[in-house]
Every structure is written in C-alpha cells, then in structure tokens.
Amino acid sequence: MELIADPGIIDPNTRIAVTPRAARGVGVVEAPRGTLIHDYETDEKGLVKDVNIIVGTTHNNAAINMSVKKAAQDLIKNGKYDQGLLNMVEMAIRAYDPCLSCATHELDGRIPVRVNIVNHAGEIVANLVD
C-alpha cells in the first residue's frame, strides 16, 4: 500500500526532456542469468553510434564449456551416443542459461550447432551439424 501511494511511482510526469548530445552511458544490473552490462555511446545528435551488451552467459562461458565437456565425458562411452545423450549434455548449458539453446537460432529457425565427437587422442570420430 505504501508503494501504491508513493507519488514518485504514480506521478504521470515520469519522462524528463533531454537535449541530444554526445555521451556515453553504462548500466549494470544483476539479471536472472548473471550480470548484465549495457554500454551505449551517442553522437552529437544523440544517435547511438556504438553499443556493447555483455550478458550473463558471456561471464559464464568458461564454466559452461567445462560443464559441457564433463557431461560429454561422463555420458558418452565407447563412442556410443544418441539424441537422448546429446540432450542430456545440452542440459549442462541450460543449468547456466535456460534460454541459450532456444535463443541462438538462425532466422530460418535452425540451430547453428556443430558437435564434434572426439576420441581419447583428440581425433574427430563423428561430426553432427544441425
């Protein structure tokens, strides 16, 4: 009730006028998948000329890769695998970022994924391309 009555929240004049100018703004917020960083730079007309967005998945990339490798090593035995096993390996990614697998589709809906199955000597024994 206190928040509902707060004039700063319910004030209809929430937008302030800005004068376009060259500037840079950086915002950092903790998001469900990790720290989210937005970095924007504008020109003298106030038009965005450079953007750098660093999502939580970027910060977790090394850990994701190690988890996928460990899952694959634990699940794929004697070079035998199937779609079910590969789905289980994908679960290692989803533990960090449940949206990554679905958010990385190409415009035609395909998932641009290449999976190399390597043996103990590091030789590629199978290659799956979606």
| Structural Rg of the chain based on CA atoms | 22
Under 8 Å CB-to-CB from 14, ≥6 apart: which residues?
none
Reported as a single tens digit per residue, the pLDDT across 23-52 is 999 999 998 778 899 999 999 999 999 999
Whether 111 shows a pLDDT value over 60: the answer reads no
Reported as a single tens digit per residue, the pLDDT across 57-87 is 888 889 989 999 999 899 988 888 888 888 8
Minimum mean pLDDT range among 10-24, 62-76, 88-102 = 88-102
CA trace torsion 17, 23, 28, 33 (10° rounding) = 100
Whether 15 shows a pLDDT value over 90: the answer reads no
Cβ proximity of 44 and 20 under 8 Å: yes
Q: Against a cut of 0.85, is the pTM above it?
A: no
User: Residue 51's beta-bridge partner residues?
Assistant: 40
Alpha-carbon gap, residue 58 to 52, rounded angstroms: 12
For residue 64, which amino acid is it? I
What is the arithmetic mean of pLDDT over 113-130?
80
Question: What is the pLDDT at residue 23?
Answer: 96
